Structure 1
Amino acid sequence: MLIDRTHRPWLIFSGAGLAVAAIGYVMYSAMVVGGPRGGSAVGLTYGIIGYAFMLFAGLIGLRKKYPIVRVGRATTWMRGHLWLGLLSFPLILFHAAFSLGAGSLTRALMVLFIVVIISGIFGAVLQHFLPRLLTERVQLETVYEQIDSVRGQLLEEAEKLVADLRSALEGDLSFAEEKQRAMAASAGTVGGLTFASGLGASEFTSQIVADFFDQQLRPFLLHSGGHHCALADKGQASGMFSQLRVQLPRNFWPKLADLESLCDEKRGLDRQRRMHHVLHGWLFVHIPISYALLLLAAVHAVFALRY
């Protein structure tokens, strides 16, 4: 969620609400005998309003789960979730008179609330900056759910390129393209490949390409992440392809460049996956703790009002 000028009304409302609440708390603290208490009328007012804002922030989960029920725009709910959720924190602090409480339940509530607020701010910062960073660092951004499919396509393309390289190096035209087979008799060059049948290139060089594919390229393209692979590092990958260029004739270099481009695209997919996990991983902390907070806060309210 990009925090832009559309958030200004919410910022103004939250700032004004905080100012009014803070002034009221200062006046209440100066007037009350024995100091502010959560069980007083003013303290309960802060607690009720703060919990209402917490409930509103928590209801965004239901709004996302049932999008058919059009109760307000999704963007409005998101902005309200952010700003009212933030505003609820100082209101609860005013309710508790800036104390963690005497009981274990109230202390647990305050700790949970602090974790929720910190994780929420962290998530808001991530969602503001990370999508832009993702666009800058991943040139060929893919729909996240299609990353594995695209990775499979990269592997298929690499297999075809390597097969073409080996068939040209070994002079085995049974795997070559139709146009390449037509030129083989005259040792012609098609698509940057000069056939070994005309030049007598060694099978040793072909085996180098095969070993590189089996030991380095295929494992890197086959597995997500691939941090254990040397090709995952752009510098090491560049060095490995430079070594291959030394051992292969110059007219084979365009095919090597194509393979190197596939590795670049695979690194982009891995980078996108990692950034996606960072962008959404914080929710695995924020969401369950938020609902635990709402539940325990309701229990706290019942016990406080009854006993």
Structure 2
Amino acid sequence: MAVQVTTFMRRRVVLITILIFVGIACVFFNEVLSVLLKANAYYSGFTLLFLLLLLTLFNARKKLPFLPVLRASHWLQFHIYAGFLSVLLFGIHIGFRIPDGPLEISLSILFGIVTLSGFIGLYLTRILPPIMTRTGESLTYELIPKFETRLHRETLALVREAENTSETSAAGDLYLTHLSTFFKPCPTWLLVFRNSRKRLARTLEQIDNMARFIGEEKSQVLEEMRSCVHRRHNLNVQKGSQFLLRGWLFIHIPFTYSLLIVSVVHVWIALSYSSFH
């Protein structure tokens, strides 16, 4: 384990160092072109467009895993660090100024959305998988609603069993006050970032408090209730995490292709009204 961590950190240091040197080289080359009175915006623009095309190929590589063109993990690393480099190149291309004109503003907005969604996606893909692993079994997203319905029915059956064999209404009160809120549908992606463990602990504590009202002979029912609560917690985390891990791509990918289209139009207009070619 320690060897893996050391290797990971060494690789990260190497990649960050390369990124810094390439970034410095881009800034230096842009300044040299400026001093030589060359059309440095064209060079930075074409470089940025080429880099965006390479970044877009990552999505194609994921859809075609059989292609013998590097491993997907290597493509991912390239995608991440090239994405950071593209931010610098975009700043160089616009001269680190506020864009003006409809086309420049449109390009800047699209680039900002793609960049921000990419950073959010990077953050989510780093923090959510460990959370999903800690909470329990990984589940298929499309099957989670069926599991939720089945689990809700099981919980109601346990509450009725406890009510029918007890002289008090403790089980029913517990369900109405705490379990119904815990089991009802909600925006589970919010629960991922709220402290869902505290919510789980509070619900389990209420079940433990109910033990003194229904008697020792019904301890098995309480254990099954605890199991249902744990399973519901896992469903919430799995559903919310997978929703976020899928959802950010529905922003990132369409806007990436939109950015490419507008960039090509921008290049065509720039070349049409210049003597660069």
Which residue is 1:47 aligned to?
45
In 2: Cα distance, 1:241 partner to 1:225 partner = 24
Out of 232-241 and 251-260, give the one that drifted further. Answer: 232-241
- What amino acid sits opposite 2:29 in the alignment? G
The structure 1 residue matched to 2:144, chosen from 130, 147, 162, is 147
- Count of residues in Structure 1 that have an aligned counterpart in Structure 2: 258
In 1: Cα distance, 2:228 partner to 2:26 partner = 58
Which residue is 1:123 aligned to?
121
* Unaligned segments of structure 2, at least 5 residues: 191-197
Query: Alpha carbons of 1:242 and 1:44: their partners in 2 closer, same or farther (altered >3 Å)?
Result: same
RMSD: 3.4
- Share of identical aligned residues, percent? 25
Which residue is 2:74 aligned to?
76
In 1: Cα distance, 2:170 partner to 2:208 partner = 13
**Is residue 266 from structure 1 mapped to residue 232 from structure 2 by the alignment?**
yes
The structure 2 residue matched to 1:63, chosen from 61, 64, 74, is 61
- What amino acid sits opposite 2:139 in the alignment? V
* Unaligned segments of structure 1, at least 5 residues: 33-39, 170-201
Query: Alpha carbons of 1:149 and 1:94: their partners in 2 closer, same or farther (altered >3 Å)?
Result: same
In 2: Cα distance, 1:236 partner to 1:93 partner = 49
Which residue is 1:21 aligned to?
26
Out of 272-281 and 16-25, give the one that drifted further. Answer: 272-281
- What amino acid sits opposite 2:19 in the alignment? S
Which residue is 2:266 aligned to?
300
Greater C-alpha Rg: 1
In 2: Cα distance, 1:225 partner to 1:86 partner = 32
Which residue is 2:194 aligned to?
none
The structure 2 residue matched to 1:90, chosen from 88, 91, 98, is 88
Q: TM-score, normalised by structure 1?
A: 0.69
